[in-house]
Amino acid sequence: MSRLPVLVYGDERLKQVARPVGEITDEIRRLAADMAETMYDAPGRGLAAPQVGVGLRLFVMDCHWKDGAERDPVVVIDPEIVWESEERATGEEGCLSIPGLPMDVRRPAEIRLLWRTLDGETVERHLTGPEARCAQHEYDHLDGVLITDRVPHLRLAALEPQLKELAAHGGTV
């Protein structure tokens, strides 16, 4: 396993829609393992393939390890949100591609997510709380959507200098 470079805000690859994974190969398994290592090393709770420059619909997440729980990464391949609650919740979200600039984002409080595992098994799970928020955040990355696309314009305007600085430096973290 190895740590992968994470693309930073301003990189146009972060705005592209990812394509389906399709067949689960050893290369995909290696990518998922490297992404999990990168997520833990960052340290983050989730990481999407587009954030490491790979345009595939795949993400990893582990919502509780930073709270002292055992590491338990979930690999999500070709996900689909099949239901979302009408109830909305606002919460602070950080993004490994926008380091140091957490933002309050309003999202459905609950979702039902359908995906494939590395074994090719289809899973559907009802997610709430941190899991629902993290899964939606990473799912957004697969569609080329960043948290900056989900915050009110006034808040975004206040962050403009920091965002411009990130974009100007470009590269990876």
Q: Model-level pTM?
A: 0.95
pLDDT of residue 119: 97
Residue 171 in this model has a pLDDT that exceeds 80:
no
In a domain, 38, yes or no: yes
In a domain, 150, yes or no: yes
Catalytic residue among 80, 84, 138, 165: 138
CATH number of domain containing 113: 3.90.45.10
Instruction: Calculate the average pLDDT of the chain.
Output: 95
Q: Which domain holds residue 20?
A: 12-169
In a domain, 95, yes or no: yes
Residue 104 banded pLDDT, cuts 50, 70, 90:
very high
In a domain, 59, yes or no: yes
pLDDT of residue 160: 92
In a domain, 60, yes or no: yes
Mean pLDDT of the region 25-35: 98
Residue 172 in this model has a pLDDT that exceeds 80:
no
In a domain, 3, yes or no: no
Nearest-angstrom CA–CA distance, 88 and 55? 29
pLDDT of residue 25: 98
Mean pLDDT of the region 63-85: 95
pLDDT of residue 93: 97
* 23 noted as active-site residue: no
Residue 67 banded pLDDT, cuts 50, 70, 90:
confident
Count the domains in the chain.
1
Mean pLDDT of the region 73-89: 98
Length, in residues, of the chain: 173
Residue 173 in this model has a pLDDT that exceeds 80:
no
Residues 98, 99, 105: CA angle, nearest 5 degrees: 55
Residue 169 in this model has a pLDDT that exceeds 90:
no
Would you give the DSSP letter of residue 109? S
Nearest-angstrom CA–CA distance, 150 and 143? 13
Residue 170 in this model has a pLDDT that exceeds 80:
no
In a domain, 1, yes or no: no
Give the number of other CB atoms < 10 A from CB of residue 71: 11
In a domain, 110, yes or no: yes
